[in-house]
């Protein structure tokens, strides 16, 4: 097999995995990425010349270096060096991109959409079993309800984008997959992702409004029936989740009780802001965050917690790596958003527009949902960010390197 065929198959597989098999996605992508490192460093392949990729990779490198410096200035120890392992994904990004783009853009786009369809239907099947038969919030194969919601939200929104942008006979399947992903997100009980997915759905329908009526014509009854089924399945959960939110808010505002889901978030946000103020330049190191949260919440609020992050991705980054790390990530999201908007505004190429939407939903889901949870630091979230970023950049601004396609590719 050559890289053109391998990358098409790899794209299909990797996009189908996250909601269903969770961390196995990370194992597969990292394995492939390390092979790409070998290919580039051995001289068999070269780094991609794509400007957008290189700027993103540079910002990632700044983020990594800031965290390494923070680790070294905050009582480093060999035993805690493993805390730096999540940074490896950011170092692998340019190598994975460089070999993954030895592919045909259209083939990769359709492979990614096919994978997203599998992920959406597979994720919904697991969610239904977990919610209906096990009596739990749906978490799919991710092992965490909010992580599951994030990754299947991305899969579903990508399916919707494919249906709206690519005039294809598969539009009905893509719409059904989007509905399946939406239902799975609702069953996860992740309120923040409910909001993000709803807003991004409406945004896509508005941007591509000229395609909405032709696409939905003759399918209204099927779509209405799907909406009714989703509403029936999730109505009780939605009511319960919002009732719990109001109760938590009342406990916090009227009684000053922080011992609730909302109250603990407010507590760790306060601790996080204090820690940023103490050392804004270098931060406190990735190795110290759990201890700082535990001690800070117990001393200030009298509650024992075992959190590993501040339930705000940007705040976590600032505490871990300082202002340089925080600015690097903010700049990266800004760059991704600018590339996405330009691709949507100027592109006549439908694949370029699809890439723009992929980048836009990626930035919105991670930056938006990350304000009340994690952005980076979880193996599944880090891996999914990389695969959506690579494919989004490739479709929106990337260069296909099919001149290298005939070279043998025994491994990915």
Chain mean pLDDT for the chain: 90
Region 295-300: what's the mean pLDDT? Answer: 90
The pLDDT, as a whole number, for residue 221 is 63
| Comparison of pLDDT for 368 and 363, the residue scoring more | 363
Region 356-381: what's the mean pLDDT? Answer: 93
* CA–CA separation, 323 and 327 (whole Å): 6
The pLDDT, as a whole number, for residue 412 is 47
Nearest to 159 by CA among 109, 224, 212, 209: 109
**Rounded to an integer, what is the distance from CA 260 to the centroid of its chain?**
26
State yes or no: pLDDT of 410 exceeds 50: no
Q: 10-59, pLDDT tens digit by residue? A: 999 999 999 999 999 999 999 999 999 999 999 999 999 999 999 999 99
Instruction: Identify the band that residue 409 occupies on the pLDDT scale cut at 50, 70 and 90.
Output: low
Q: Which two tokens stand for residue 361?
A: 């939903």
Nearest to 102 by CA among 399, 359, 411: 399
State yes or no: pLDDT of 4 exceeds 50: yes
User: Cβ of 72: how many Cβ atoms within 10 Å?
Assistant: 11
Instruction: Identify the band that residue 228 occupies on the pLDDT scale cut at 50, 70 and 90.
Output: confident
* CA–CA separation, 40 and 63 (whole Å): 22
State yes or no: pLDDT of 241 exceeds 50: yes
Q: What is the pTM of this model?
A: 0.93
State yes or no: pLDDT of 81 exceeds 70: yes
Tell me the C-alpha to C-alpha distance, in Å, between residue 373 and each of 57, 213, 260, 312. 24, 36, 15, 5
The pLDDT, as a whole number, for residue 271 is 95
Instruction: Identify the band that residue 404 occupies on the pLDDT scale cut at 50, 70 and 90.
Output: low
């Amino acid at each position: 097999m050559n890289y053109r065929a391998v990358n098409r198959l790899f794209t299909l597989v990797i996009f189908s995995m996250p909601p269903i098999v969770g961390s196995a996605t990370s194992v597969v992508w990292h394995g492939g990425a390390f092979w790409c490192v070998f290919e580039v460093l051995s001289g068999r392949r070269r780094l991609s010349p794509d400007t957008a990729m290189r700027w993103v990779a540079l910002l990632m490198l700044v983020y990594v270096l800031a965290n390494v410096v923070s680790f070294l200035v905050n009582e480093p120890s060999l035993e805690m060096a493993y805390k730096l392992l999540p940074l490896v994904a950011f170092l692998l990004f340019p190598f994975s991109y460089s070999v993954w783009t030895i592919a045909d853009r259209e083939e990769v786009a359709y492979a990614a959409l096919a994978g997203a369809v599998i992920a959406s239907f597979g994720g919904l099947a697991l969610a239904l079993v977990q919610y209906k038969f096990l009596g739990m919030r749906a978490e799919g194969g991710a092992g965490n309800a909010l992580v599951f919601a994030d990754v299947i939200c991305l899969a579903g929104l990508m399916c919707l984008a494919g249906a709206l942008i690519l005039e294809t006979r598969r539009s009905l399947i893509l719409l059904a997959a989007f509905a399946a992903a939406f239902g799975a997100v609702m069953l996860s009980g992740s309120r923040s992702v409910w909001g993000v997915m709803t807003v991004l759905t409406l945004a896509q329908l508005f941007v591509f409004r000229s395609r909405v009526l032709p696409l939905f014509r003759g399918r209204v009854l099927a779509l209405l029936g799907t909406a009714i089924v989703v509403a029936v399945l999730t109505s009780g959960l939605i009511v319960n989740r919002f009732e719990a939110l109001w109760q938590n808010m009342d406990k916090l505002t009227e009684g000053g009780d922080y011992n609730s889901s909302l109250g603990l978030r407010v507590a760790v946000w306060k601790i996080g802001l204090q820690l940023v103020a103490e050392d804004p330049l270098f931060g406190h190191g990735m190795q110290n965050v759990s201890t700082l949260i535990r001690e800070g919440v117990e001393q200030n609020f009298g509650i024992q917690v075992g959190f590993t992050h501040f339930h705000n991705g940007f705040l976590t980054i600032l505490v871990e790596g300082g202002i340089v790390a925080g600015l690097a990530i903010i700049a990266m999201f800004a760059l991704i958003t600018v590339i996405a908007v330009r691709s949507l505004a100027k592109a006549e190429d439908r694949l370029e527009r699809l890439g723009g939407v992929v980048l836009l939903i990626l930035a919105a889901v991670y930056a938006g949902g990350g304000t009340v949870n994690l952005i980076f630091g979880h193996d599944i979230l880090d891996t999914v960010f990389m695969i959506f970023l690579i494919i989004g950049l490739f479709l929106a601004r990337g260069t296909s390197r099919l001149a290298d396609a005939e070279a043998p590719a025994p491994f990915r």
